[in-house]
Amino acid sequence: MEKKLKTIIGILVVFVLLLAGALVYIIGQKTDLKNDKDVLISDVAKLQQEYATLSSTNDTINVQLQVEREKVAELIEKIKKTEATNRTQLNKYQKELGTLRSIMKSYITQIDSLNQLNIALKEETAQAKKEAQESATKYNQLKTTTDELSKQVDKGSVIRGRGLTVIAINGRDKETNRSSRTEKLKTCISLIENSIAKTGLMKVYVRVKGPDGILLTAGDQELFTVDDEQLICSASREVDYQGEELEVCIYFVPGVGFTKGVYTVEAYTDRGLMGTTEIYLK
């Protein structure tokens, strides 16, 4: 009887020890699960803070960022309401966190690219304004010089020009300042009234130099002579000059397209240079 009692007691002791071990294991598991849940909440909260710092000058991206912020806030609330023992659901939320983090990285890349582009555009705009101002200054100086010379030689026999202008024309025959839209240049100059100048048919020549300083032509090269020197013209027009002021406009269509930069335009007769001006194409 005593032997049986000892056996029973031994069995009970073993059972108690096993039960205690099981309880310790379960408590440990619950603690680990709770810690995992807390870590997940913390990671999502950090992502939420990172999303809060993102902003862009692009309205579309800002709207998309707000949508993602709301998703992060909803994820935090779902995790808080989920039992720590629901490992399947928490694993699902962990994957959602990874997806939201990947999306955020893509937005960071887009925002950085836009920022770099904005900086480049600002620098380019500032440079373009500077070049345009310089061109305008040169044009005004040249125009003033031409007007003064016109007064001095008004009674001379040489036909002079004034008011030389050039504008860029697009495919719809509208004025533009974009190189990509320009199809031709329209150069206009007024032949000054001169009662003693030779009248009749004469040619006005235009020479157009690109931003690189190279003369542009429309294909076939037309030559004219000035002061015993042969020059190539970009375009020309024959007019009937009768001693009265006459406005002449010449269109130039190059063999190749226009590029960004400052174009120099010169107007001639066979008696010499009448004027020079510039146009800046963006």
Parts of the chain with a pLDDT under 50: 22, 24-25, 27-29, 154-155
**Confidence (pLDDT) at 3:** 64
Question: Rounded to whole angstroms, what are the CA distances from 70 to 45, 51, 52, 74, 267?
Answer: 12, 10, 11, 6, 66
**Confidence (pLDDT) at 32:** 53
Neighbours of 151 (CB within 10 A): 10
pLDDT tens digits for range 222-274? 899 888 889 999 999 999 999 898 999 999 998 788 999 999 999 999 888 98
Q: What's the rounded Cα separation, in Å, for the pair 220 and 5? A: 124
- Crossing angle of the two packed helices 59-81 and 87-152, in degrees rounded to 10: 170
**Confidence (pLDDT) at 277:** 93
**Confidence (pLDDT) at 122:** 75
Sequence-distant (6+) residues with CB within 8 A of 61 are 107, 110, 111, 114
**Which residue spans of the chain are classified as CATH 2.60.40.10?**
153-281
Which tokens is 225 given?
A: 């002579």
In eight-state DSSP terms, residue 214 is P
Q: Look up the CATH architecture of domain 153-281.
A: Sandwich (2.60)
